A = this chain, B = another copy of it.
Amino acid sequence: MANSQQMANAIRALAMDAVQQANSGHPGAPMGMADMAVAVWGRHLRHNPTNPNWADRDRFVLSNGHASMLLYSVLHLTGYDLPIEELKNFRQLHSKTAGHPEHGITPGVETTTGPLGQGITNAVGFALAEKLLAKEFNREGHAIVDHHTYVFLGDGCLMEGISQEAISLAGAWKLNKLIALYDDNGISIDGQVAPWFIDNTPERMRACGWNVIGPVDGHDADAIDAAVASAKTSTDKPTMIVCKTHIGKGSPNRANTSKAHGEPLGADEITLTRNAIGWSSAPFEIPADVYGDWDAKEAGKAAEGEWQQRFDAYAAAFPVLASEFARRMAGDLPRHFAQTAVDAVIAAHTKAETVASRKASQIALETFTAKLPELLGGSADLTGSNLTNTKSTPALRFAENGDVVQVEVQLGDETVKVGGRHINYGVREFGMAAVMNGIALHGGFIPYGGTFLTFSDYSRNAIRMASLMKQRVIHVFTHDSIGLGEDGPTHQSIEHAASLRLIPGLDVWRPADTAETAVAWSVALSNRNKPTAMLLSRQNLPYLAKKDLGDISRGAYVLSEPADVGLARKAKAVIIATGSEVQLAVAAQKLLAEKKIPVRVVSMPSTTTFDREEAKYKKLVLPEGLPRVAVEMGVTDFWWKYGCAAVVGIDTFGESAPAGVLFKHFGFTAENVAQTVEAALQRAR
């Protein structure tokens, strides 16, 4: 029989010692949640430390990510490739034990947490992905997808508004295999939370369709164990287990104080704590029997082995499904993808339709969703505006019993019964973004979701997190400028395109027509380690004549030369434009041609992509010495990086008026662009 008390104390010791050694970190939460970890990691979690990528492992999310030492401790103790040296290097450069848990850095860390409230929301995404994959792939007698998602979270996560979005969605989606353990210690950084956090959390959760267990004694591993066992029996509701804990549990003088939260206990208090909890081992030393009690390698191998047998039987019975499942979980695109993408782009070019780029996106999505069953779309209550839905993505719905409702749709050439593939996220932009991160991290799906570009503000930190975690999550941001018109400045994006481009690792596309939009989608889908933001117009955009489609994917290309408007001279200036403004650049080029001023037009749908191009290509597109004028309906600051002589942009908020009126009002006319180029040429003389 395992010694649960010493198992928990091992976490406490590692947490306080590592934080002390780093002279930085958060000992209180790991010490407080140590018994919860014993119950979940020691008795319930189905995982294989020697294969952190086992497809059917239970997922564990530490939503209160500052408790990272708890996670590092259990990963080390249960047998992941995280040697004790890494724990000694807690919070040091290039260690595997960053200040907050980082997916991709530490084996077994399912998602990067720290920004509060997002972990629980990621977990909702994990649990949703599991439920949808189970419905799609499991067959009678063959449950190859059947795992739980566990999440630890604290007061901080529950205070963050995004938690409400997560809670509401989990309830609405009846995610019965989501089990949240609430570290209810009544303390946040500013002290006892009572004056600023009076929520009756169990009642709040019940009001949103959750099963609530407890409060249980959060230091009684048996009680928590029993609660988890009970939670697993839920068939139609997610479960929250309220664990009453003491932050810094074990520390005689710091327990139950906010002092335990975010600083080392200090050598003296650590000694006192060791004595109090009966832990006599030296720092970073764990008795062999405690290691033995924690070791999950054998059990993990056995569990995965048992699953592998089941999977082999499944593969024998359903070979096509099995290989499709493997492909999906690996995140590989189907073999036909390259051809499908080319076809989509060529079809757009051939039809040359005048449509809004949001509609162009839907046209591209019609093709891609029909052929890529891993696409899982959605919108934050703007489906008809974002145009994220397609014929092959019926709305996701759940039956009363919690089951995914299946409907017949046309997928490619066949009619198949599928679960819903377009999610009504409700008016929850941040929640949508963080759920999508969880879905992508789970694997099996490529999530995309829509809202108005301006409301990317709401979801901004989750977009950043997707980028930090290198996840293929695609944001469809429509109504991307003053072209939105009458809704006015609250809804009109001004600074958003530029400020999204500043997020490291995020690709931003603002395509000008149907072909560029199809390319944008194909690149976004191909970029398996990158999130993408698509900025799409509300208003119709003409198809732009182009000779070659091959360079669009490089992010910028020469769309039109003086010769294309009948001027047999070399360009004297370059107009760079994106999205809806490329047509203006082309129109200005014509006006200038009438004055015998030869100008090149560069369409630059993705500055982030172009910036990664080789210098040679960049110079081909933007030759040195030619004055450059950028045109984009957004803040001008961004464009100086391309050495522009002038920028036609907007540095104030928009106005409420019809789009056509606003274009004139803010100077987005071919005439103004042409004049700006002329003025730039005069200054350059």
Mark A residues whose CB is within 8 Å of B: 22, 24-25, 65-66, 91-95, 98-100, 102, 112-117, 155-157, 159-165, 168-169, 171-172, 188-191, 193, 195-201, 203-204, 206-209, 379, 381-385, 395, 397-398, 424-428, 430-431, 454-455, 457-458, 460-461, 464-465, 467-468, 485-491, 494-495, 498-499, 501-505, 635, 637-638, 640-641, 643, 651-653, 655-658, 661-662, 665
Contact = CB atoms under 8 A, between A and B. Distances in A.
A653 to B, nearest CB: 5
A191 B427 CA distance: 12
B93 A661 contact: yes
Nearest to A657: B93
Nearest to A22: B486
Contact of A195 (B203, B397, B501, B502): B397
Nearest to A650: B504
A495 B508 CA distance: 15
Contacts of A196: 168-169, 172, 381, 424-426
Contacts of A395: 195
Given A93-B665, A102-B488, A504-B495, A426 B188 contact: yes
What number of copies of this chain does the assembly contain?
A: 2
Given A160-B427, A656-B98, A657-B91, A502 B499 contact: yes
A168 B196 CA distance: 8
Nearest to A90: B486
A224 B600 CA distance: 64
Contacts of A643: 640
Contact of A495 (B91, B198, B201, B503): B503
B490 A498 contact: no
A188 B486 contact: no
A189 B502 contact: no
A157 to B, nearest CB: 8
Nearest to A636: B641
Contact of A159 (B383, B426, B505): B426
Contacts of A113: 490
Contacts of A656: 91-93, 95, 98-100, 102
Nearest to A638: B637
A505 B653 contact: yes
Q: Which of A160, A501, A656: most chain B CB closer than 10 A?
A: A656
Shortest 5 CB-CB distances between A and B: which pairs?
A161-B161, A114-B490, A98-B656, A203-B207, A164-B164
A98 B504 CA distance: 36
Given A99-B490, A168-B198, 20 more contacts: A22-B486, A92-B657, A93-B656, A98-B489, A102-B488, A102-B489, A160-B161, A161-B161, A161-B428, A169-B196, A188-B426, A195-B395, A196-B426, A198-B209, A199-B207, A204-B204, A204-B207, A204-B208, A467-B653, A637-B641
